[in-house]
Structure 1
Amino acid sequence: MSRIAFVSGASGLIGIQLLHQLFKNESFDWVISFGRRELAFKHQKLVQVKVDFGQLDKVDLINEVRNQNMGGDKQSLIKGLSEKATTICAFSSLGTTIKKAGSKESFYRIDHDFVVSFARFSLQNGAKRFLYVSALGADAQSSIFYNKVKGEVENDLKRMDFDYVGIFQPSLLLGERKESRPGEEIGKVLMKFVAFFGLFKKYKPIYDHQVAKAMVQKALNIKMTGNETIPSSEMHKMTQ
């Protein structure tokens, strides 16, 4: 039985690292990336499906893969999806910022609605495990809008019928972003200083590739069931 990874948010900081981890891990036979735009690289495991996350219910996944099977190299994937002879893990690092989204309403649509929609789509297409990049401080009751939205997503995912939901709550992320976030850069410097003195370990910044590696490890741990929250401190231990 083949193992497939569904990925949303693959063009982002963690998403790119997640793809690299999945490509080099022999346990995954195929990686299907869902996004609004095509990624600028190719890999023999990678299948890209262009989607409108607001209309995922209209996507016929098998037909989308079939349309890309001109050379016949994806026949085993089509067969596995058609016969439900696959093990599917879904990963979501989909998200933005309020500044980039343009408004709180647009931010909510991307960070909440699109993530939940992708989770439903994944479940309907056979995924049994869902792994989501949330944020440290996520809380549906928070007075901070960002944390509140992340908390609401977490709660919605926990109510879905997956065998396992892994919620990853990284602290400040280290890595090469495409866009500059001055406030975040200042925070990284401050938290590195704090971490140097061993204070507030749970706030110690974490690299994008560490989060991605931890997600893949958890996805492959079939003994894990139910809902689990993985904070930065645990991800650091997992990836040392």
Structure 2
Amino acid sequence: MKIAFISGTSGMVGMQLLHQLLKDGAYDYVLSVGRRKLALKHPKLIQIEGDLFKLQQWDWEDRIREQALGGEYADFLGKIEKREAEIHAFCSIGTTIKVAGSKERFYAVDHDLVLGFAEWAKSLGAEKFLYVSAMGADGGSSIFYNQVKGKTEENLKSVKFAYLGLFRPSLLLGNRHEFRLGEQVATILMKPLVWLRLFKNMRPIYDHQVAKAMVKTAQSIRSQSVEIISSGQMQDLSQ
């Protein structure tokens, strides 16, 4: 049995990731872990929700059993308990300082929640972890956003997955729930690079391209245990 864990489905890439995972026949189940349930039904989608800062304390098995009074998820739970499932975890958790309200809150979401989900997934047997980072991720950066992304990447390495994929997209194109003036301006200025197919690593990339690249990478045999996937590589993988 092959199972996908996913967290961060409320964002652009997260929604596309969930879509890709649900339609991909390679995965028997997709477990979505979030603050709230999505208004979405699918035969292989299981959703559990709650305070992600307390994820390690969740009685997640009971939360799943409560949704399946007929015991239809017994096989799913049994495979995880017996370590008989191949588990891939996908994370697109992220926010902005403006939405978070402060640098401290931003760090708590973009670093602490990501690490917490990774450690939880690893404890249940996840072999691969695929994370949506940022093009400028650098723990030593003077830009706070890039610094946090870089520190998150470094700390994920200490969780010791069999495979860790760090995806660094450039400016994301897609349908956002909130308006971001800076990104709107950048999109207008840089979108011609997409049309002209110039500067592959710098030009904007669509959310569905990132999602496709992540799923394709998860299902392939990788020669490295830790891999950074650039925006240009994602565009190639999503073809």
Alignment partners' CA distance in 2, 1:14 and 1:55? 24
Q: Report the AA paired with residue 10 of structure 2.
A: S
* TM superposition shift of 1:100: 0.3
3-state SS of 2:25 partner: coil
Percent identity between the two aligned chains: 50
Alignment partners' CA distance in 1, 2:228 and 2:161? 15
In structure 1, stretches of 5+ residues that fail to align are: none
3-state SS of 1:166 partner: strand
* TM superposition shift of 1:158: 1.4
1:22-37 residue pairs with structure 2 within 5 A? 22-37=21-36
* Residue aligning to 1:141: 140
Alignment partners' CA distance in 1, 2:47 and 2:223? 29
CA offsets per residue over residues 29-66 of structure 1, 9 Å max, x none?
Answer: 00001111111111111111112121111023322222
* TM superposition shift of 1:102: 0.4
1:89-104 residue pairs with structure 2 within 5 A? 89-104=88-103
Q: Report the AA paired with residue 119 of structure 2.
A: R
Does the Cα contact within 8 Å between 1:6 and 1:122 map onto a contact in 2?
yes
* Residue aligning to 1:11: 10
CA change 1:225–1:71 in 2 (3 A) is farther
Residue 187 (structure 2) pairs with residue 203 (structure 1): no
1:56-71 residue pairs with structure 2 within 5 A? 56-71=55-70
Residue 110 (structure 2) pairs with residue 111 (structure 1): yes
Does the Cα contact within 8 Å between 1:163 and 1:225 map onto a contact in 2?
no
* Residue aligning to 2:87: 88
CA change 1:236–1:68 in 2 (3 A) is same
* TM superposition shift of 1:195: 4.6
Alignment partners' CA distance in 2, 1:192 and 1:184? 11
* TM superposition shift of 1:210: 0.6
* TM superposition shift of 1:225: 4.0
Alignment partners' CA distance in 2, 1:144 and 1:155? 17
Alignment partners' CA distance in 2, 1:158 and 1:217? 21
* Residue aligning to 2:168: 169
CA offsets per residue over residues 61-95 of structure 1, 9 Å max, x none?
Answer: 32222222213221211221222210100000000
Is 194-203 or 88-97 further displaced after alignment?
194-203
Does the Cα contact within 8 Å between 2:193 and 2:204 map onto a contact in 1?
no
Superposition RMSD in Å: 1.3
3-state SS of 2:48 partner: strand
Q: Report the AA paired with residue 233 of structure 1.
A: G
3-state SS of 1:78 partner: helix
Q: Report the AA paired with residue 68 of structure 1.
A: Q
* Residue aligning to 1:156: 155
3-state SS of 1:201 partner: coil
Alignment partners' CA distance in 2, 1:42 and 1:71? 17
Alignment partners' CA distance in 1, 2:159 and 2:225? 10
Residue 216 (structure 2) pairs with residue 214 (structure 1): no
Residue 40 (structure 2) pairs with residue 75 (structure 1): no
Q: Report the AA paired with residue 46 of structure 1.
A: L
* Residue aligning to 2:234: 235
For normalisation by structure 1, the TM-score amounts to: 0.96
* TM superposition shift of 1:4: 0.7
Is 84-93 or 60-69 further displaced after alignment?
60-69
Q: Report the AA paired with residue 84 of structure 2.
A: A
Q: Report the AA paired with residue 82 of structure 1.
A: E
Does the Cα contact within 8 Å between 1:62 and 1:81 map onto a contact in 2?
no
For normalisation by structure 2, the TM-score amounts to: 0.96
Count residues in correspondence. 239
Does the Cα contact within 8 Å between 1:135 and 1:171 map onto a contact in 2?
yes
3-state SS of 2:3 partner: strand
